[in-house]
Chains A and B, each alone.
Chain A
Amino acid sequence: MKKIHALICLSLIASATFTACSDKDDNEILPINNKCLKRTQGPNLVGNDIYFVYAMAMPYGSGQLQTCTVEASIAGAEETWLEHNSYHTNSSGFDVAVPVGEPSVNSGARTTVTFNTDTCAAALRYYYRIPEEARGKDVSFRFTATARDGRTISMDMGPYTVSRQYMTRDITLSKSRCYISLEDMAAYTLEEARNIPDKIDLVYLWRNKINQGVEFGHTFASPVADREYLDNLEVPESMTRDLRMRKEWGIIDGHLTDDPDYGTYIDDIDFETIRLADMPNYCVNMKEKGGMWIETADGRYRAYLYINSLRSTSGGVISIKRYNM
């Protein structure tokens, strides 16, 4: 009898132990996990994207994702989108896209992807095209993942300050298209410039003066610079704007250059702190990948003009960042 009791007791203890060791509760609601990375570097410029990767996942078998939504504090421009592909990296190191949902839909400041595959995990890329309304303001984002059973999780990102800079890339200069406006961030021909003389801040010219013993090359000058630096370029008297210029080399801005991302950028504070007092109003013999800080004489604008490429004779391509003072 004692033996039977002992056996029953042992069985009960063993049973209790096994029950206690099992922590699985079939009714337990497991949370969704999420992480977000901001991938873009440098100042946030109007017209450029702020690019994020948002990853969301729940344990395998615990449910499926239904939607992913991003809400910005300031509605993005219409080019804003959330990619409906999730990515994995193949053995060659390339990202391979796997469609997991319907193309994103923008509604006001919200961008949503609805999943159309059974998946418990995805990493979606979000591209927020910075609108003009955001210039100089802070913008922040809320990323939200929702499961089919209603579970939801969110992550806040930001705030990020949107730069006050204006940028125009790849302005083509030539022998005739050589009248440059910082206000319009464009280059004009003489005929066009005659109609807007009050907008022409500098002129470009190329001269070969090797046979006169000097290197003149690609030169930028204010319309009212010493005639020596304008050579015989026709500059109407109605063009009276003056400026100060500081020659630079080695400032390769990640937004302005065509080269692989250098990870260096001209930020608003650079425009605010650069000292250009007493600088000349011309820069002679400029080189490709060089540039110049510019300040208009009326103090209205500061700018950085980057030289993307130059021809061996007249012409080239420039890009400009401008900051309204």
Chain B
Amino acid sequence: MKKIFSLILISLALLTTATACYDNPVDDDGLLITDRDECYVSNFDLTGTDHLTVRVGDAIIDNEACTIHVTVAYGTDLRHLYPKFSLVTDAKLEPKIEGLTDFSDLDNPRKYTVVSGSRRVRKTYTVYVTVQKLTSQS
């Protein structure tokens, strides 16, 4: 009987040690680093100060060219927009989005880098914003 108890105790001790040794690495942001190398943007949106979308039609995301083309509604104030990215699982975005962002400099479009879950793959996307214009009256 004593032998069985000893065996159980040793097994538990081993199990605890094995679990404790398992590595769950996290990055500087406290996010889990995984094995995933996928790195892309799956969806993109821009919202105004009212948190409603200003996008007209779908954003065109080219994951090969790393570009995002988005058209926004007539009258949109480009200086105060919230960009919203949907990324592949475990990926993260740099720089972080921390509030209203100025997209008004159309000659120098904003760039965001997607970093894969493994943190080994990085892709920098350029966001091109176009504002709807009045067309000539039909």
- A→B interface (CB under 8 Å): 209, 211-216, 219, 228-229, 246-250, 278-280, 282-285, 290
Report which of A216, A219, A247, A280 forms a contact with B50, defined as CB distance below 8 A: A247
Question: Which of A212, A228, A282 sits near B137, CB closer than 8 Å?
Answer: A212
Contact with A along B42-69 (1 / 0, CB 8 A): 0000001111100000000000000000
Q: Which residues of A contact B120 (CB under 8 A)?
A: none
**One of B51, B73, B136 near A285 (C-beta < 8 A):** B73
8 Å CB contacts to A: which residues of B42-101? 48-52, 73-75, 77, 79-80
User: Are A209 and B134 in contact, CB atoms less than 8 angstroms apart?
Assistant: yes
Distance A244 CA – B36 CA, assembled complex (angstroms): 46
With contacts A247-B49, A290-B50 taken as known, whether A279 is within 8 angstroms of B77 at the C-beta atoms is: yes
Q: Whose C-beta in chain B lies nearest to the C-beta of A209?
A: B134
Report the bound CA distance from A222 to B133 in whole Å.
Answer: 21
Q: Size band of the B side of the interface?
A: 10 to 19
Q: Which residue of A lies closest to B102 (CB)?
A: A278
Is A211 in contact with B50, judged by CB distance below 8 angstroms?
no
Indicate the member of B51, B52, B74 with the most A CB atoms within 10 Å: B74
Least CB distance from B105 to A in Å reads 14
B132 touches A280 (CB 8 A): no
Chain B residues contacting A279 (CB-CB under 8 Å) are 49, 77, 80
Tell me whether A216 and B74 are in contact (CB under 8 A).
yes
Secondary structure of the A contact surface, majority rule: mixed
* B134:A280 contact, CB within 8 angstroms: no
Would you call A229 and B50 a contact (CB within 8 A)? no
In the assembled complex, the Cα of A216 lies from the Cα of B134 at a distance in Å of 10
Cβ–Cβ contact A215 & B137, under 8 A: no
Q: Which residue from A215, A246, A249, A283 sits with its C-beta under 8 Å from B52?
A: A249
Interface of B with A (CB < 8 Å)?
A: 48-52, 73-75, 77, 79-80, 132-138
B11–chain A nearest beta-carbon distance, Å:
57
Residues of A contacting B52 with CB < 8 Å? 249
B84: min CB distance to chain A, Å: 16
Contact B132 A249 (CB under 8 A): no
Q: Are A246 and B75 in contact (CB under 8 A)?
A: no
A214-B73 in contact (CB<8A): yes
29 A-B residue pairs with Cβ-Cβ distance under 8 Å, sorted by A, are A209-B134, A211-B138, A212-B136, A213-B74, A213-B133, A214-B75, A214-B132, A214-B133, A214-B135, A215-B73, A215-B74, A216-B74, A219-B75, A246-B49, A246-B80, A247-B49, A247-B50, A248-B50, A249-B52, A279-B49, A279-B77, A279-B80, A280-B77, A280-B79, A282-B75, A283-B75, A284-B75, A285-B75, A290-B50
Pick the contact of B75 from A212, A229, A248 — CB < 8 Å? Answer: A229
Bound CA–CA A216/B75 (angstroms): 8
Contacts A216-B75, A219-B75 known; 17 new A-B pairs at CB < 8 A? A212-B137, A213-B133, A213-B134, A213-B135, A214-B75, A214-B135, A246-B80, A248-B49, A248-B50, A249-B52, A250-B50, A278-B79, A284-B73, A284-B74, A284-B75, A285-B73, A285-B74
Chain A residues lying within 8 Å of B73, measured Cβ to Cβ, are 214-215, 284-285
| A282 contact set on B, CB distance < 8 A | 75
Alpha-carbon gap, A57 to B123, bound state (A): 75
Residue of A nearest to B131 (CB): A214
A284 to B75 CA separation, bound complex (whole angstroms): 6
State the CA gap A283–B136 with chains docked (Å): 22
